[in-house]
Amino acid sequence: MDLLNTLVDKGLRRELPTREEALAVLATSDDDVLDVVAAAGKVRRQWFGRRVKLNYLVNLKSGLCPEDCSYCSQRLGSSTGILKYSWLKPDEASRAAAAGLAGGAKRVCLVASGRGPTDRDVDRVAGTIKAIKEQNEGVEVCACLGLLSDGQAERLREAGADAYNHNLNTSEGTYGDITTTHTYADRVDTVNKAHAAGLSACSGLIAGMGESDEDLVDVVFSLRELDPDSVPVNFLIPVEGTPLAKEWNLTPQRCLRILAMVRFVCPDVEVRIAGGREVHLRTMQPLALHLANSIFLGDYLTTEGQAGQADLEMIADAGFTVEGADEVTLPQHRAELQGAGCGSHGAEGAGCGSHTAEGAGCGSHAEGGCGSVCGSHEDVAAAVTVAANEPRTDLVAVRRRGAGTDLAPNA
């Protein structure tokens, strides 16, 4: 296919595709999806080999958010039944982080619900970063706290943060249909503040909210212009009790095309499969590793993810390797741009994938990540009988373990 050959050539040269080419990737048929994956996979391997970076979420403060983001289970007036708790103490957060690091994660993403942090909140998070880094040598820390005020990004950097996550989520033209309590420009401003402070910027999107192909291309081209080191791709988890609970617009093939388009537009950037992979990619998750070079391990913010051991087995079975703490995530030309403290191994790669301001955070779009197959054998057998085009509500499970509970985390 001439289109794919052209996109591979451009990706290997780090050349931006045209909007028409990006739209054409999304318009390819299911019959061509393996060709699309194979083509984008060449670009992924050129810049990231067969390494997969593992990231781990710690939800520092859950629910009780004043923002009205339609996709978020932590939104204002939410009736989703998620865990609600105030700030974890530094030692509690450090213990939660240790579970993910023991499972192979090299980056910890610290997330807190809310519009944005107060200066006192920044002090709290600074203490948590210090505790985690004192107890885990070489760990990378990404903060995801919402909209930043002047000077806060610098304070986080001084406290030891390597990266900051704040997603654009959707196109500027449709942002007002999703959220009314802050603007698209607010989000762009926070990403720029992170950049200016020397933090590795992480910013991505949420697919599946009823947006058009044009909207998806718009937001990915906007991300390319902002030039984050990491682009998390979330797939909407339609959690009951949110305004978008009935939006089941994604198929595994559609998700693969979206990831391929992101890879072609952002060839040498860390592309992370964030919230919703287990819900929408399902058994096609291994194919997505040929497109993205980063995932979250274990559970998400407010929903359950695939078992951590299953993630590790999937990576190995697909012929990939877990990226080590001593390995540099980004290609050399990008890592060098970041400088010694911020773009070498990890700082460069951002850690989170969420929309942050609304309380979400790193790696999923707030409601967390997904419900994997965390049920009985009977539950799994019942799920198998569900038609491919039907909503998979059986795969959405509210997190009841890990941070904010007395139960061991999934990692």
pLDDT of residue 286 exceeding 60: yes
pLDDT for residue 315 is more than 90? yes
Count of C-beta atoms within a 10 Å radius of residue 401: 16
Q: Per the annotation, does 142 bind a ligand?
A: yes
Residue numbers annotated as active site: 65, 69, 72, 109, 142, 202, 272
**pLDDT at residue 328, as a whole number:** 94
Task: Give 77 or 341, the one with higher predicted confidence.
Answer: 77
- Chain centroid offset of residue 135 CA: 25
Give the Cβ contact number of residue 21 at 10 Å.
Answer: 18
Q: Is 69 annotated as a binding residue?
A: yes
pLDDT at 388: 61
Tell me: is residue 13 an annotated ligand-binding position: no
Query: In this predicted structure, which of 50-64, 307-321, 372-386 has the lowest mean pLDDT?
Result: 372-386
Of the two residues 329 and 335, the one the predictor is more confident about is: 329
pLDDT tier at 179 (50, 70, 90 boundaries)?
very high
Residue that wins the pLDDT comparison between 325 and 339: 325
How many Å apart are CA 174 and CA 170, to the nearest integer? 7
pTM, whole model, 2 decimals? Answer: 0.89
The verdict on whether residue 272 carries a ligand-binding annotation is: yes
What SS3 class is residue 249?
coil
Tokens, residue 292: 């993205």
Averaged pLDDT, 330-337: 89
- The answer to the question of whether 266 is labelled as a binding residue is no
- Would you say residue 120 has pLDDT above 80? yes
User: Looking at residue 387, what is its pLDDT?
Assistant: 62
How confident is the model over 267-272, as a mean pLDDT? 98
Residue 322 binned pLDDT confidence (cut-offs 50, 70, 90): very high
Q: What is the pLDDT of residue 237?
A: 92
* pLDDT value at residue 272: 98
What is the mean predicted confidence (pLDDT) over 42-69? 94
Task: Provide the pairing of β-strand 163-165 with 270-273.
Answer: unpaired
Distance CA 84, CA 51 (A): 35
Average pLDDT, the chain: 87
User: What pLDDT, on the 0 to 100 scale, is given for residue 176?
Assistant: 95
What is the arithmetic mean of pLDDT over 370-385? 43
Is 144 marked as binding a ligand?
no
Q: Percent of the chain, pLDDT > 70?
A: 87
SS3 164: strand
Task: Name the band, by pLDDT with cuts 50, 70 and 90, for residue 376.
Answer: very low
Look up residue 336 and give its two tokens: 């060098």
Separation of CA 66 from chain center: 22
Structure tokens at 376: 């009985």
pLDDT higher than threshold 70 for residue 361: no
Q: DSSP secondary-structure letter at 393?
A: G
For the ranges 36-45, 130-139, 368-377, the maximum mean pLDDT occurs at 36-45
* CATH level 2 (architecture), domain 42-358: Alpha-Beta Barrel (3.20)
Tell whether 72 is in a known binding site: yes
The domain limits of the chain are 42-358
Per-residue confidence (pLDDT) for residue 215, from 0 to 100? 98
